[in-house]
Amino acid sequence: MTIDWQAQPAQPAQPTPPPNSTRPPHPAISPDEIAQRMQWAQAVISMVDGPEAAGQHRARVTAVAAERMSADDAVLETIHAAGLRRSERRTFRARSFEDYLIPGTIGLRNRLVDDEHPDGIDDTRLFRELEIQITHLRLVELTFNPAEGYFDYDHLKLTHRRIFSDIFDWAGTERVGPDTPSSDTPATAPSTRRATPRQFSCENSTTRAPKSLRPLPPSSPTCSSCWRTRR
């Protein structure tokens, strides 16, 4: 086994939030703003064939969009409702793509665990459902608490961490090997450390990116090669 785990400093146990825990609505948030936040997040989820939010999940999405409930509480409530818990985040180091997989499966190691699945659940249907719901909640959070940055490589990793850190220990870090377990050449893909930063470079040194992922106004002057905003 080539995997190297390093536990982070112990943190206080996270209490189980009560069902539908809420806080008073933010007085400055209009119904239109709440709807816009929800529509933006749903549009992103739809791009990966995620279903329309319904039932208790929609209630949590609405509560987060209205800032009546924190995204952290909504995520934990979602996990606990499935009879699971979120493992403490650990430093993950992989030397080949197989290190990302639950032993004996093609499922990815994940933080959604129970006593029988310490490396993460391997039920693909349940994992897919929870992955969609959890990332949906985090996307709503990004609409009013965006990942600040300049659309460079570090900004990409920060955004990935904000969306996926409840699910994967390696969220926001570079990955080793190919993109999927089905590749015939594990651990032989070009290093993302060398290749990816170049995808975010811009020859126009006078440009800088917007500070968040919020859509730019139509009148914003941008660099045609990388969409960065001229300052």
Q: Are 163 and 171 in contact (CB under 8 A)?
A: yes
Which residue numbers in the chain have pLDDT < 70? 1-27, 177-231
pLDDT value for 144: 95
- Which residues, other chains included, contact 53 with Cβ-Cβ below 8 Å and sequence gap of 6+? 38, 42, 45, 61, 136
Q: Are 166 and 82 in contact (CB under 8 A)?
A: no
**DSSP-based three-state secondary structure for 11:** coil
Gap between the Cα atoms of 223 and 206, Å rounded? 10
pLDDT value for 28: 79
Residue 86 φ/ψ, nearest 5 degrees: -95, 120
Gap between the Cα atoms of 104 and 45, Å rounded? 30
Partners of residue 5 on adjacent β-strands: 92
pLDDT value for 75: 98
Gap between the Cα atoms of 34 and 140, Å rounded? 10
pTM here? 0.73
Token pair 């850190």 is found at: 165
Span 29-46, pLDDT tens digits = 999 999 999 999 999 999
Amino acid, res. 155: H
Gap between the Cα atoms of 60 and 45, Å rounded? 15
Helix 124-144, helix 71-81: angle, nearest 10? 170
pLDDT value for 119: 94
- Which residues, other chains included, contact 230 with Cβ-Cβ below 8 Å and sequence gap of 6+? 204, 206, 207, 208, 221, 222, 223
Radius of gyration of the CA atoms of the chain, in A: 19
**Within 10 A of 156 (CB to CB), how many other CB atoms are there?**
17
**Within 10 A of 38 (CB to CB), how many other CB atoms are there?**
21
What is the number of alpha carbons within 13 Å of residue 199 lying toward its C-beta?
10
pLDDT value for 109: 95
Span 99-113, pLDDT tens digits = 899 999 999 999 999
pLDDT value for 193: 53
pLDDT value for 83: 97
